Structure 1
Amino acid sequence: MDGTKIKNMEEFAALSGISRPTISKYFNDPDSVRPKTRERIEEALERYDYRPNIFAINQNRKMTKNIGIVVPYLADPFFGEIARNIEQRCIDAGYRPTLFSSHGERDLEIDILDSLRSLKPAGVLLAPLGRASDRSKIEDFCNEVPTVLFDSNIDGVGEAFVGSDNFSFVSQSVDYLMDSGEPPVFFEMRNPANPNANKRRAAYIQKMESMGQTPHVLKIEGEGWAFEEIGRQGAFEVLDGKALPSDTILCSNDRLAIGFLAACYERGIRVGRAEGCAMRVASHDDHPFSKFTCPALTTVAHDYDSVAGHSVETLFSLIENGGKFRARTETLYPARFILRASA
Structure 2
Amino acid sequence: MTQMTTMRDVAAIADVSVKTVSRVFNGDPHVTPETRARVEAVLRELNYVPNTLATAFRSGRAPVIGIAVPDIVDPFFAAIAQAIEAQAAASGMSVLVTSVGADPDREATVVEALLKHSLSGLVIAPITTDQSYLKPWTANTPIVFVDRAPTRLVADSFTEDDTGGAFDATSHIIGHGHSRIAFLGDTNEIPTTQGRIAGYEAALACHGIPVRDELVAMGVRDRRSAADAIAGLASLPTPPTAVFCSNARCTMAAIPALKPLGWAVVGFGDFPMADLLTPSITVVDQDPSALGSLAAGRILDRIDHPNRRYRRRTVLPVTLVTRDSCAAPAGSCAERRALGA
TM-score category, normalised to shorter length? 0.7 to 0.9
How does 1:323-338 map onto structure 2 within 5 Å? 325-338=308-321
Q: Percent of aligned pairs with the same residue?
A: 19
Aligned CA distance change for structure 1 residues 99 and 156 (closer, same or farther; 3 Å) = same
Gaps of 5+ in 1: 1-23, 47-56, 272-278
**Counterpart among 277, 282, 295 of residue 311 in structure 1:** 295
Match of 1:42 in 2: 35
3-state secondary structure, aligned to 1:145: coil
Matched, 1:169 2:165: yes
8 Å contact 1:297–1:342 — kept in the other structure? Answer: yes
TM-superposed CA distance for 1:97, in Å, is: 1.1
Deviation per residue, 1:285-338 (Å, 9 max, x gap): 11335334442211111022322221112112222221x543321101111111
**CA deviations over 1:156-214 (Å, ceiling 9, x no partner):** 52420101111221122123222222235241347446431111001211232233332
- Letter aligned with residue 237 of structure 1: G
> Which residue is equivalent to 1:76?
74
Following the alignment from structure 1 to structure 2, what is the Cα–Cα distance between the partners of residues 66 and 200?
A: 34
Q: Which residue of 2 aligns with 1:251?
A: 245
1:201-233 residue CA offsets vs partner (Å, 9 max, x unmatched): 01211232233332335233537xx34432221
Question: Residue 128 and residue 61 in structure 1: after superposition, are their counterparts in 2 closer, same or farther (change >3 A)?
Answer: farther
CA contact (8 A) 2:77 2:288 kept: no
For residue 284 of structure 1, report the CA deviation from its aligned partner.
Answer: 0.7
Q: 1:238 to 1:149 in 2, by over 3 A?
A: same
Local SS of the residue matching 1:327 = coil
Q: How does 1:157-236 map to 2 (within 5 A)?
A: 157-183=153-179, 185-189=181-185, 191-192=187-188, 194-217=190-213, 218-220=215-217, 222=219, 226-236=221-231
Indicate if the aligned counterparts of 2:80 and 2:288 stay in contact, CA closer than 8 A. Answer: yes
**CA separation in 1, counterparts of 2:152 and 2:132?**
11
Matched AA of 2:70: P
1:118 to 107, 116, 119: 116
Match of 1:288 in 2: 272
Give the Cα–Cα distance (whole angstroms) in 2 for the partners of residues 104 and 61 of structure 1: 34
User: Counterpart amino acid of 1:251?
Assistant: C
Contact 2:246 2:268 in 1 (8 A): yes
Aligned residue identity for 1:334: P
1:107 Cα offset (Å): 4.8
CA contact (8 A) 2:24 2:31 kept: no
Return closer, same or farther for 1:147/1:95 CA change in 2, 3 Å cut-off: same
Q: Contact 1:74 / 1:103 at 8 angstroms: preserved in 2?
A: no
> Are positions 1:92 and 2:90 aligned together?
yes
Q: In structure 2, give the amino acid aligned to 1:129.
A: I
Distance 1:155 1:118 in 2: 22
SS at match of 2:66: strand
How many Å apart are 1:40 and its aligned residue? 3.2
TM-score relative to the length of structure 1: 0.73
Corresponding letter in the other structure for 2:233: V
Flag the structure with larger Rg. Answer: 2
SS at match of 2:62: coil
Contact 1:200 1:252 in 2 (8 A): yes
After superposition, the Cα gap between the structure-2 partners of 1:26 and 1:282, relative to the gap in structure 1 and judged at 3 Å, is farther
Secondary structure of the equivalent of 1:290?
coil
RMSD: 3.4
Q: How many residues align?
A: 290
Change (3 A) 1:69 1:191: closer
| Partner SS, residue 119 of structure 1 | coil
Q: Distance in 1 between matches of 2:209 and 2:190?
A: 27
Q: What is the rounded CA distance, in whole Å, between the counterparts of 1:87 and 1:256 in structure 2?
A: 26
TM-score by length of structure 2 reads 0.73
CA distance in 1, matches of 2:65, 2:187: 32
Cα distance 1:110–1:255, how it changes in 2: closer, same or farther (>3 A)?
same
